[in-house]
Amino acid sequence: MKFLGIIPARYASTRFPGKPLADLCGKPVIQRVYEQVQASVDELTVATDDERIVAAVQDFGGHAVLTRQVHHSGTDRCYEACLIVNKPFDVIINIQGDEPFIQPEQIELLKNCFSDTDTQIATLAKPFDRNGDVEKTLLNPNTPKVILNNNNEAMYFSRSIIPYIRGKEHDRWLKTHTFYKHIGLYAFRSDILREITALPPSSLEMAESLEQLRWLQNGYRIKVAITQQETIGIDTPEDLEKAKLQFFRLPEY
């Protein structure tokens, strides 16, 4: 199978304008992400709406395409990038442009999902730490949760706690049940990507502001691979400073 990796990267982020070009220990954030995953896919491109990002990617020897500014999601931007690249790929992997610590092993987990010919869409989930702080994890609406069926397919995603544990106090829930944090990394068969980007927003998607609910509500199946590795996203300038501290802990530093 041939895998195309696409990194959507907008310049005009509400909380952190210009985030892809922000310096992370001597390299732009977008370059850090690109170099982390490049060896894991057959071809890699950045899909952006800004010529400054295109220029930055080309400066470090990467590939980028200029897409329209009208897209409401990274998935839509990925599909336009596929049309621009215009090459036959079996699977498209949507890689978050603000997660420089994504591991090649996590990309491999996604790719392995497609050894099953029935897999349409794949994503990742990580078990919450049973000793974690419930207030900062399960009760945090900015951390989407996912529940799985016995085939490791997503049954539902939510910003609320799912499932609800009846008869126990919140501070006991993590020790009572394995809860899963959704990691927003997706892979699609190319024909499925074309289909889902033609779907109108669904009621569940609009209620939770989670685009993957549109796919579930329309009957698509989402395979979920389990990772034990944490990802660290950069949403704000404060997150960037934390990421710098993390980089200084890596062996090359």
What b/e readout covers 131-143, taking b as 16+ CB neighbours within 10 angstroms?
A: eeebeebbeeeee
For 158-166, which contacts have Cβ atoms below 8 Å and span 24 or more sequence positions?
158/208, 158/210, 159/208, 159/209, 159/210
Question: Residues with Cβ < 8 Å from 229, sequence gap 6 or more?
Answer: 103, 105, 106, 126
Structure tokens at 59: 């400066």
pLDDT digits (tens, 9 = 90+) for 79-124: 999 999 999 999 999 999 888 999 999 999 999 999 999 999 999 9
pTM of structure: 0.93
Residue written as tokens 């996590």?
106
Domains and CATH numbers, the chain: 3-125+181-202+218-247 (3.90.550.10)
Burial class (CB within 10 angstroms; exposed 0-12, middle 13-18, buried 19+) of 95: buried
Query: What gap in Å lies between CA 192 and CA 214, rounded to an integer?
Result: 13
pLDDT digits (tens, 9 = 90+) for 128-183: 999 988 888 889 998 999 999 999 999 999 999 999 999 998 889 999 999 999 99
Burial class (CB within 10 angstroms; exposed 0-12, middle 13-18, buried 19+) of 1: exposed
Query: What gap in Å lies between CA 93 and CA 190, rounded to an integer?
Result: 10
pLDDT digits (tens, 9 = 90+) for 26-48: 999 999 999 999 999 999 999 99
CB distance 59 to 174 below 8 Å = no
Confidence at 248, pLDDT banded by 50, 70, 90 = low
CA 26 to chain centre: 24
According to DSSP, the residues that pair with 169 across neighbouring strands are none
Type of residue found at 179 = F
Ordered DSSP codes for 95-153: --TT-TT--HHHHHHHHHHTTSTT--EEEEEEEPPTTS-TTTTTT-TTS-EEEE-TTSB
